[in-house]
Amino acid sequence: MARPTPPAGDASGPAPHPLFPLPAGRTLDICTELHTAILEHRLAPGMKLSEDEVGEIYGASRTVVRAALQALAHSGLVTIEKNRGAFVAKPTIREAHEVFQARALIEPPVARMAAQAMTESHLAGLKAHLDAEHAALHAGDMGRALALSGTFHTAIAEIADQQVLTAMVRSLISRSSLIIALYWKRADTACESHSHHALMKAFQARDGKAAEEVQKSHIVDLHSGLNLRAQEEAPTSLATALKR
Amino acid sequence: MARPTPPAGDASGPAPHPLFPLPAGRTLDICTELHTAILEHRLAPGMKLSEDEVGEIYGASRTVVRAALQALAHSGLVTIEKNRGAFVAKPTIREAHEVFQARALIEPPVARMAAQAMTESHLAGLKAHLDAEHAALHAGDMGRALALSGTFHTAIAEIADQQVLTAMVRSLISRSSLIIALYWKRADTACESHSHHALMKAFQARDGKAAEEVQKSHIVDLHSGLNLRAQEEAPTSLATALKR
DNA sequence: CAATTTAAGATCGTATACAATTTTTGAGCA
DNA sequence: TGCTCAAAAATTGTATACGATCTTAAATTG
């Protein structure tokens, strides 16, 4: 079984959020575990997610694993090929563009709404979020820091108190994490912190217009930080191993 | 078994589209059948969708029916309550507002993109779509006409050639169908045709700005055509039966 | 007679079993 | 050695079975 294996049972750590609205029972747990594992880049794009393997790791039957994988497939984090199984999704360059275009369309108005709905309690929550991100970065836990920088955007949508848009943002954020894993070209991951602090200032001032503009330029900046030139296609397993 | 039952096996008619990206095998068929049935208002909001019952109707096992119901739950057309089963979703007033706010945010820019990408072939397709809608309306098939007026919006997103946004629009359109079933207050359903023809004119002129504005006002108009006052809560089974 | 309790029935959540398909392995041959 | 083809192994798709939970109905009791 010399094959890329899912993470060991150490997948602990508090889940960022209850996730999507559908599954019942233990399906949700597995869904959450896989979700956070993907967001923290512990599961690389393209990895096979065997039903038996995942089930054995989490002590669950294939039935519930299947439901979890189908849920993740629906949110774009997993690709299911008929009779071949589930894989961690590998967004194409085109999809990467589309995801960030959609984010540039949706998130700035959401930030404006959030600024208008912002309370002191909300501000404290966001502040704690940034602190946690900073702490993770300082502790060298890159994956966790990246996941937190993503959920910061989700938190904004939740403050805007728009459940429908929040679900969309959450999905786009998750897919962005995969896209960054594949196409990020800058070495500096801390550049995001800067924009997030700028957003905080706009929120503290309850300046919706400023929040909208900062968010817009932040997302455009993220988009431009990707290397989305057409490149070699899918030498995932063999060439990668033989590269050195 | 005196209970609201799903439609009989006559659920034929060409599906509007391949639907969502996830399920495999016969799951997709059942998903599509239920989806179109909901869009055509043959399945009323709140109806119970028993796994056994649906499975018997379509000649499938509970396994695949479950997968289909979970997929529909993820797209917001079905609500699953733990240990109680699946029901056709019954959007709240708040959700209705949010869905149309999201549509007002997303669809106008999509219409602008579509106008820019519009070819003669695309125009012919939209024209055929409107004709089919008109024919269904003339034939008295209200449900089908309504479903077609919804897929007209989806078709626009597809022409814009944005798969990520198209998936979002498709989901919003589907949920709008449920919302209209619950909250529509006007008697005139043909009012939409007017806006759709205005859109066609903008598309023919390749006038992106006009398309965006027409679409915006169209969606605001739809939103205002809903009766979203707080009203009596859920007297679905008893009071409804005793009303006359 | 109405309200409460209890038991029967129905439905869902999960595990397991079998069939269908794909992938891998290895033998045979040019 | 390299290629083709066939058989075995592994994996998924679907059906069925059983335990848990909820719903419904009956029976009991004040």
Structure tokens at A167: 């679900």
- Chain B residues in contact with A179 by the CB 8 A cut-off are none
Give the pLDDT of residue B236: 44
Q: Is the CB of B84 under 7 A from strand D?
A: yes
Q: Are strands A85-88 and A78-81 parallel, antiparallel or unpaired?
A: antiparallel
Check A74 against B22: CB less than 8 A apart. yes
CA trace torsion B187, B190, B195, B196 (10° rounding): 140
Residue B186 · residue B201 · CB < 8 Å: no
pLDDT tens string A103-113: 999 999 999 99
Q: CA B25 → C1' D14, Å?
A: 10
What is the nearest nucleotide to B86, using C1' and CA?
C12
In terms of DSSP H, where are the helices of chain A?
Answer: 26-39, 51-58, 62-74, 93-117, 120-138, 142-159, 163-183, 191-204, 208-224, 238-241
Q: First CA to last CA across chain A, in angstroms?
A: 23
Give the pLDDT of residue B135: 92
Taking the C-alpha atoms of residue B85 and residue B4, their distance in angstroms, rounded to an integer, is: 14
Closest CA to A195 of A119, A107, A117, A124: A107
Instruction: List the single residue in B with minimal CA-CA distance to A168.
Output: B168
Taking the C-alpha atoms of residue B6 and residue B86, their distance in angstroms, rounded to an integer, is: 12
Q: Is the pLDDT of residue B240 over 60?
A: no
Residues 96-115 of B with CB under 7 A from strand D: none
Which residue shows structure tokens 């805007």?
Answer: A160
Taking the C-alpha atoms of residue A56 and residue A78, their distance in angstroms, rounded to an integer, is: 19
Residue ranges of E strands in B27-181: 48-49, 78-81, 85-88
Highest mean pLDDT among A92-106, B126-140, B186-200: A92-106
Q: How far is A130 from chain B (nearest CA, A)?
A: 28
**Which of A192-196, B20-24, B49-53, B186-190 has the weakest average pLDDT?**
B20-24
Q: Is the pLDDT of residue A192 over 80?
A: no
**Which of A120-124, A217-221, B23-27, B105-109 has the weakest average pLDDT?**
B23-27
Interface of A with B (CB under 8 A): 20-25, 66-67, 70-71, 73-76, 80, 82-83, 94-95, 98-99, 101-102, 105-106, 109, 162-165, 168, 172
Closest CA to B157 of B135, B136, B126: B126
More confident call, A51 vs A189: A51
Confidence of residue A74 (pLDDT cuts 50, 70, 90): very high
Taking the C-alpha atoms of residue A182 and residue A44, their distance in angstroms, rounded to an integer, is: 9
Question: What's B93-224's CATH class?
Answer: mainly alpha
Nearest-CA residue to the C1' of C15? Answer: A61
What single DSSP character describes residue A237?
T
What single DSSP character describes residue A19?
-
In chain B, DSSP finds a helix count (H) and a strand count (E) of: 10, 3
Q: Are strands A85-88 and B48-49 parallel, antiparallel or unpaired?
A: unpaired
- The count of C-alpha atoms lying within 13 angstroms of the C-alpha of B102, restricted to the half-sphere facing its C-beta, is 28
Give the pLDDT of residue B23: 55
**Which of B5-14, B21-30, B208-217 has the weakest average pLDDT?**
B5-14
Give the pLDDT of residue A191: 57
Q: Is the pLDDT of residue A123 over 70?
A: yes
Residue ranges of E strands in B23-72: 48-49
Give the pLDDT of residue B234: 47
Give the pLDDT of residue A52: 95
Q: How many CB atoms lie within 10 A of CB B121?
A: 9
Q: Is the pLDDT of residue A134 over 80?
A: yes
Q: Is the pLDDT of residue A241 over 60?
A: no
Q: CA B25 → C1' C21, Å?
A: 12
Mean pLDDT of chain A: 85
Residue B68 · residue B34 · CB < 8 Å: yes
Instruction: Give me the mean pLDDT over the A150-157 stretch.
Output: 96
Tell me the domain boundaries of chain B: 26-88, 93-224
Q: Is the pLDDT of residue A10 over 50?
A: no
Q: CA B141 → C1' C12, Å?
A: 36
pLDDT tens string B19-49: 454 556 688 889 999 999 999 999 999 999 9
- Chain A residues in contact with B82 by the CB 8 A cut-off are 24-25
Helices B142-159 and B120-138: crossing angle in degrees, nearest 10, is 170
What single DSSP character describes residue B156?
H
Give the pLDDT of residue A13: 35
Give the pLDDT of residue A20: 52
Sign of torsion over alpha carbons B19, B25, B29, B31: negative
Taking the C-alpha atoms of residue B103 and residue B52, their distance in angstroms, rounded to an integer, is: 35
Q: CA B33 → C1' C4, Å?
A: 45
Q: What angle do CA B29, B183, B232 make, to 5 degrees?
A: 115
Give the pLDDT of residue B14: 35
Taking the C-alpha atoms of residue A122 and residue A157, their distance in angstroms, rounded to an integer, is: 12
Structure tokens at B147: 């479903």
Q: How far is B64 from chain A (nearest CA, A)?
A: 11
CATH node for A26-88: 1.10.10.10
Instruction: Give me the mean pLDDT over the A77-87 stretch.
Output: 96
Q: Are strands A78-81 and B48-49 parallel, antiparallel or unpaired?
A: unpaired
Give the pLDDT of residue B6: 34
The set of residues, in sequence order, having a beta carbon less than 8 Å from that of B93 and lying 6+ positions away, is: B183, B228, B229, B230
What single DSSP character describes residue A3?
S
Residue A151 · residue A143 · CB < 8 Å: no
Taking the C-alpha atoms of residue A11 and residue B168, their distance in angstroms, rounded to an integer, is: 31
Q: Which of B71, B95, B162 sits opposite A70 (nearest CB)?
A: B71
Structure tokens at B136: 């269904």
Give the pLDDT of residue A159: 98
Give the pLDDT of residue B198: 96
Confidence of residue A98 (pLDDT cuts 50, 70, 90): very high
Mean pLDDT of chain B: 85
Give the pLDDT of residue B190: 54
